[in-house]
Chains A and B, each alone.
Chain A
């Protein structure tokens, strides 16, 4: 093999890589730590490039719905105030929304239900290896963000849950049409075991990003100052913030 051509080829690769990195500034996942940070960053950058036109995840017909949709994690939060709200069928339940929004406040469940809804039958893929298909009804997160007036500097939406989980999405996933705050499942109310009264659906990421029992939403431009700064409660257990694999 001729030497000059190989050198040119390598220089070309290095140049293209550098140009790409320069162009993709800001598309790094929040926690790029440890020896796996490089491959996480590569995966995230590749997915953001592949999904830049915001394609939808597959949707199915009703005949494909899994009869016993598996329950993972908390089945019924022990939290006393949650139990009180549950006893009152969540009529007094409210969703606090704060951070980089022009109208922070608490959104009643009835208000979320009065906004235009979306129903989608999608596949839930767990990192454990199993998968199931369910029908979800809810309000698009983008509509809620629009309503509370998320400001352009916003880069992440942080979610907290009744059972102590937390996680975040970047705006690309937050604004995706299939990203829902779901209050209905398979034609009925969202069951407690699946996160009543409100859970997150992020169809282009694995199951663990789809938090149940959502209790608060914060819009922010940075996540390095929240909790352990990794952007996700799953990170310390070894699971990457971006779970589109």
Chain B
């Protein structure tokens, strides 16, 4: 094992390798889950609350598309890709969360600093966002980033997984509490769809913000690591 110089922390990459790997595996599985999810959805683009629902029962809302029922391969392919990508996403997510808690990544990168919680700095940050100005801070995530990433990692993604599992007759036989959590099988399906859209919205904003903060200076560090402290360099 090679000995590292004491100045390691100064040369430590902006995004550690486990973060970079899990970030891109997650991005690719979410892309696969989105495309395949649409394939599954096309067979029955209607959503209900409660336990049951069919074409002849009133929908909570429906998408203005004709159900794709005859073309079996669309949802067969969709389901196969969806469940394969879900396994990858779950394994990847567990590895990321396990690493994040074990190394204190979430504590050091996700918890807001004292000065970040001051109303003056929060309002200045919101102002920058509203004026579409680069909101990057000297080092680390700004508080809106911290809030958004925490919501996605600890709220949105676990709820997406759980609402997906609530559609499984096997898993729910083992854990019927899932039905109580989401208020029924069709409610779980509806919530799964809504949460997927929220996550899609997050991704759109997330990508938009990397452009705002300097695409090259923000995407390259997520691929190569990049030097620490070099956040949001505008080019």
Interface residues of A (CB under 8 A from B): 1, 3-4, 35-36, 38-40, 42-43, 47, 50-51, 55-58, 60, 64, 66, 68, 70, 123, 125, 127-133, 203-206, 237-240, 244-245
Encode contact with A along B44-68: 1 for CB under 8 Å, 0 otherwise.
Answer: 1010000111111000000000000
Q: Which of A131, A203, A244 contacts B52 (CB 8 A)?
A: A131
CB proximity of B105 to chain A, nearest CB, Å:
10
Q: Are B53 and A39 in contact (CB under 8 A)?
A: no
- Show 23 residue pairs from A and B whose CB-CB distance is below 8 angstroms, ordered by the A residue: A36-B83, A40-B83, A43-B83, A47-B170, A58-B172, A58-B173, A66-B54, A70-B56, A123-B169, A127-B43, A127-B75, A128-B75, A129-B41, A130-B44, A130-B54, A131-B52, A131-B54, A131-B186, A133-B51, A203-B169, A203-B173, A245-B167, A245-B170
Chain B interface mostly: helix
B75: A residues at CB distance < 8 A:
127-128
Q: Are A238 and B16 in contact (CB under 8 A)?
A: no
Task: Tell me, in angstroms, the Cα distance from A50 to B173 when the chains sit together.
Answer: 9
A244: B residues at CB distance < 8 A:
168-171
Smallest Cβ-Cβ distance to A47: which chain B residue: B170
CB proximity of B214 to chain A, nearest CB, Å:
28
Q: Are A39 and B83 in contact (CB under 8 A)?
A: yes
Task: Tell me, in angstroms, the Cα distance from A214 to B1 when the chains sit together.
Answer: 65
Q: Which of A35, A39, A131 contacts B51 (CB 8 A)?
A: A131
B161: A residues at CB distance < 8 A:
none
B16: A residues at CB distance < 8 A:
1
Encode contact with A along B174-185: 1 for CB under 8 Å, 0 otherwise.
Answer: 111001000001
Residue B76 CB within 8 A of the other chain: yes
CB proximity of A53 to chain B, nearest CB, Å:
8
Residue B18 CB within 8 A of the other chain: yes
Most buried by A among B81, B84, B176: B84
Q: Are A58 and B186 in contact (CB under 8 A)?
A: no
Residue B189 CB within 8 A of the other chain: yes
B52: A residues at CB distance < 8 A:
66, 123, 130-133
Residue B20 CB within 8 A of the other chain: no
| Chain B: interface residue total (CB-CB under 8 A) | 41
Q: Are B173 and A125 in contact (CB under 8 A)?
A: no
Task: Tell me, in angstroms, the Cα distance from A149 to B72 when the chains sit together.
Answer: 39
Chain A interface mostly: loop
Q: Are A125 and B169 in contact (CB under 8 A)?
A: yes
A60: B residues at CB distance < 8 A:
51
Task: Tell me, in angstroms, the Cα distance from A152 to B56 when the chains sit together.
Answer: 46
Residue B73 CB within 8 A of the other chain: yes
Task: Tell me, in angstroms, the Cα distance from A130 to B69 when the chains sit together.
Answer: 12
Most buried by A among B51, B55, B168, B173: B173
Encode contact with A along B15-48: 1 for CB under 8 Å, 0 otherwise.
Answer: 0101000000000000000000000110110100
CB proximity of B140 to chain A, nearest CB, Å:
19
Q: Are A39 and B103 in contact (CB under 8 A)?
A: no
List 10 extra interface pairs beyond A1-B103, A39-B83, A42-B87, CB under 8 A: A35-B84, A36-B80, A36-B83, A39-B80, A60-B51, A128-B44, A130-B54, A131-B53, A206-B169, A245-B170
Q: Are B189 and A4 in contact (CB under 8 A)?
A: no
Q: Are A237 and B176 in contact (CB under 8 A)?
A: no
Smallest Cβ-Cβ distance to B86: which chain A residue: A39
Residue B79 CB within 8 A of the other chain: yes
